[in-house]
């Protein structure tokens, strides 16, 4: 009963977080002057935009549900359930006018298929997870944050800025989730400021990515990378056990589906070239800039 409640909370968190990302993307994509060089002006532009604030509040509601889910269920399972939320993101994008490429459609369905396989793996009971070693957890979190910094500061300047920044945000959110699990699982108060810092930096990087690409290669990629890290971390750092036999195989395949979906969504189609003198087509919603 406790596990089922945690996974239901995780599904609710996934829905709220992805809807929040989608609404924020629609607002942020029109704010062409957001910049880390002018943080006060950029923050003022965000908080005075009603649409962005609705998305921000929805995301916070999802974050609260996520923390509650982590207190009831293993990290890897919570994240695998949350991975199915990218299907909701793809559905919203499609319904509001964004033409989805073949890779994007396949990536979304692969993620949702992984969620169904995860359900099969829950048919047997496994022993509860143990607490992580605090030093190991801290090293992993710092390494992930450093990798995110490299992506955002160096790679994003030359290689697919939207996808690179989305991936960097996902890394920061992912290691922040590891720190969150550590904080609620008895690894000490040290991980509370660590998770707060990682989440705040991930938020900033994600807003910058929203200005540079379509919703599925920014929020979608961030969501899936974010999910991938805690799934692996749950197994390797928090020592979460896999069931034996067919349920165990189904769970491994469901985890692999998250990775495959991330790869497919990161390879978003290029924006068609425009004729000289014509305005560039909007990247979001096929011409619609707001909900």
Label residue 282 by pLDDT band (50, 70, 90). very low
Percent of the chain past pLDDT 90, that is, above it, reads 15
Residue 202 structural domain? 2-270
Half-sphere exposure in the Cβ direction for 2 (13 Å, CA): 7
Mean pLDDT computed over every residue of the chain: 77
Over the stretch 163-215, which tens digit does the pLDDT of each residue have?
889 899 999 999 999 999 888 887 878 899 999 999 889 988 988 888 787 77
State mean pLDDT over 75-100. 71
Size of the chain in residues: 291
Label residue 143 by pLDDT band (50, 70, 90). very high
Whether the CB-CB separation of 191 and 183 falls below 8 Å is answered with yes
Over the stretch 26-80, which tens digit does the pLDDT of each residue have?
888 777 666 667 777 888 888 888 888 998 899 889 989 988 998 888 888 887 7
Q: Does residue 122 belong to any structural domain of this protein? A: yes
| Candidate from 42-51, 119-128, 173-182, 268-277 with smallest mean pLDDT | 268-277
> Has residue 162 got a pLDDT over 70?
yes
Q: Give me the pLDDT at residue 175, please.
A: 94
Q: Does residue 291 belong to any structural domain of this protein? A: no
Q: Does residue 181 belong to any structural domain of this protein? A: yes
Q: Give me the pLDDT at residue 289, please.
A: 30
Whether the CB-CB separation of 129 and 240 falls below 8 Å is answered with yes
Over the stretch 212-231, which tens digit does the pLDDT of each residue have?
877 767 777 787 788 778 88
Over the stretch 239-249, which tens digit does the pLDDT of each residue have?
887 777 887 88
- Cβ neighbors of 246 (< 8 A, separation 6 or more) are 120
Percent of the chain past pLDDT 70, that is, above it, reads 77
Q: What b/e string do you get for 27-57 counting C-beta neighbours within 10 Å, with b at 16 or more? A: bbbbbeebeeeeeeebeebbeebebbebbbe
For residues 193 and 25, the model is more confident at 193
Domains held by the chain: number: 1
Label residue 123 by pLDDT band (50, 70, 90). low
Q: Does residue 279 belong to any structural domain of this protein? A: no
Q: Give me the pLDDT at residue 169, please.
A: 92
Q: Give me the pLDDT at residue 203, please.
A: 87
> Has residue 278 got a pLDDT over 60?
no
Q: How far is CA 244 from CA 109, 164, 249, in A?
A: 26, 37, 8
Q: Give me the pLDDT at residue 36, please.
A: 66
Q: Does residue 80 belong to any structural domain of this protein? A: yes
For residues 235 and 95, the model is more confident at 235
Q: Give me the pLDDT at residue 285, please.
A: 30
Q: Give me the pLDDT at residue 161, please.
A: 87
Q: Does residue 277 belong to any structural domain of this protein? A: no
Q: Does residue 43 belong to any structural domain of this protein? A: yes
* Cα dihedral 121/126/128/133 (nearest 10): -80
Q: Does residue 105 belong to any structural domain of this protein? A: yes
């Amino acid at each position: 009963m406790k596990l089922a409640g945690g996974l239901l909370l995780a599904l609710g968190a996934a829905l709220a977080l992805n809807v929040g990302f989608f609404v924020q993307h629609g607002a942020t994509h029109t704010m062409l002057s957001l910049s880390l060089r002018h943080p006060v002006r950029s923050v003022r532009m965000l908080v005075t935009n009603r649409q962005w604030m609705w998305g921000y509040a929805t995301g916070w509601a999802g974050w609260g549900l996520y923390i509650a889910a982590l207190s009831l269920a293993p990290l890897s399972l919570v994240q695998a359930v949350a991975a199915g939320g990218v299907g909701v993101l793809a559905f919203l994008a499609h319904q509001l006018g964004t033409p989805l490429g073949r890779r994007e459609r396949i990536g979304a369905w692969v993620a949702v298929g992984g969620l169904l396989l995860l359900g099969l793996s829950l048919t047997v009971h496994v022993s509860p997870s143990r607490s992580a070693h605090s030093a190991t957890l801290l090293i992993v979190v710092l390494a992930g944050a450093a990798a995110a910094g490299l992506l955002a500061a160096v790679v994003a300047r030359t290689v697919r800025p939207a996808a690179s920044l989305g991936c960097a945000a996902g890394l920061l959110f992912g290691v922040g989730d590891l720190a969150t699990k550590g904080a609620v699982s008895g690894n000490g108060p040290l991980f509370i400021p660590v998770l707060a810092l990682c989440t705040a930096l991930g938020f900033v990087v994600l807003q910058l990515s929203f200005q540079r690409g379509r919703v599925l290669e920014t929020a979608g990629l961030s969501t899936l990378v974010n999910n991938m890290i805690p799934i692996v971390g749950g197994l390797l750092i928090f020592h979460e056990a896999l069931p034996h036999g067919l349920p165990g195989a189904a769970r491994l395949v469901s985890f692999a589906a998250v990775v495959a979906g991330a790869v497919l969504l990161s390879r978003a189609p290029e924006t068609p070239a425009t004729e000289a003198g014509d305005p560039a087509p909007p990247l979001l919603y096929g011409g619609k800039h707001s909900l």
